Amino acid sequence: MLLFLIPSITTFNLLFTNHIDLAVYANYLRDIQIGIHFLYVNIHFFLTQALASKCNPTSSFF
């Protein structure tokens, strides 16, 4: 999660020093939000599949 914060802090600094357009900053935040969402979905899917295979040994996920 810290890897997502470091670029946002630098972009936040650039926003006020170089007056970056707010739309660019909003798109950057949206991309981070989408990335975090897909990361959460992948982890959630992997954990549910792992639990399902533990409860059901005949599952062919692993």
Per-residue pLDDT tens digits for 25-38? 778 888 888 888 88
Percent of the chain with pLDDT over 70: 52
Which domain range does residue 11 map to? 2-55
Per-residue tokens: 53? 């295979």
Residue 62 placed within a domain: no
- Give the model's confidence band at 60: pLDDT under 50 very low, under 70 low, under 90 confident, else very high: low
Per-residue tokens: 61? 């996920």
Residue 60 placed within a domain: no
d(CA 15, CA 24): 10
Higher confidence at residue 23 or residue 61? 23
pTM for the predicted model, two decimal places: 0.42
For residue 44, pLDDT over 80 is answered with yes
Alpha helices in the chain (DSSP H): 2-17, 22-55
Q: Are 11 and 32 in contact (CB under 8 A)?
A: no
Residue 41 placed within a domain: yes
Residue 28 placed within a domain: yes
